[in-house]
Structure 1
Amino acid sequence: MSNRKLIIALCLVMVFAVFATGCRPLERPVPRDPHTDEEIKETTPRMDARGGDGNLTARAERIADAVAKMEEVRSAYVVITDTTALVGVALAGNTNDVATDLKRRIEDVVTKTDREIDRVAVTADPDLITRIRNVADETGRGRPLSGFGREVEEILRRIIPNA
């Protein structure tokens, strides 16, 4: 009789062990930089969130910082898709009209900051700035940019109607 209790107890322990280890979340290895073999420190997801979008986010943040340093610009938001940058700028002086000269200088800052950008769409329209900022914020929280395809296309169409 004691052998039977021992077998039942061992079976219960094994079942418990299987459930306890089988229900744990998958632990992912820490990413390493292939050049230095050091751990890559993961920060709070900002537009550079994960994977390919992560790189786009970091690039977009660098561009936004560079544009925001311009005297005429109060703040800037950027979303990058492929080789296109959507740039929303709030201008000093509370105007919503981006002069051609200022638009060209913003485009120059963008292409000098990120050499992979071929096309720049600049707007000071408050509605479009809000939409660009929302896309940038959401991708920064880890949401993939691919989920905003229609939104980005619509924004681009409104900035450059013949695009």
Structure 2
Amino acid sequence: MFKWLTSAIIIAIVATGCSTVARNETSPSPQNNGRVEAQQTEPRKKEIKNSEQVAAHLEQLAKGINGVTNAHCVVFGNTAIVGIDVDAKMERSKVGTLKYSVAEAFRKDPYGIDALVTADMDLTQRLNEIGADIRRGRPIAGFAEEMADIMGRLVPQLPRDILPQEPEKQEAPKMNKTL
């Protein structure tokens, strides 16, 4: 009985699988219709030619928002990352509102429209250090060091992966006995 039931289920699955065919006739493909064209509605990013000028501009723009005490900007290629400093005692919802206000001000700026804005204190400090390294003439080394620090904080430490350290074996001093 079990063999018959198993065989019937297998036949039903195979028959169901074989009956599925592509039904291209029910929905026309845009590739087959020559009149369908996609148009870009978003403006392209404005090319950043002088990253130091753009960074200073975006920092000043962020500092102009009431509640932002300082701002640090780093530009890599055509992308700007802006970290804002706020009062440490400020409520989280207020910090979110300030971050939104900065992003709103950047939306009206051709260089700031695609900028990334963060209010995280650790990331803001790291952006400050990367900017200082860039001004000292070591952009790649500074960026690599900070990325290593960030990755070190992101990678979790699992107790299972920790190997116990073996205590150092101290050998008793050998005595030179001659009889």
TM-score calculated relative to the size of structure 1: 0.49
Larger helix share, 1 or 2 = 1
Structure index of larger Rg:
2
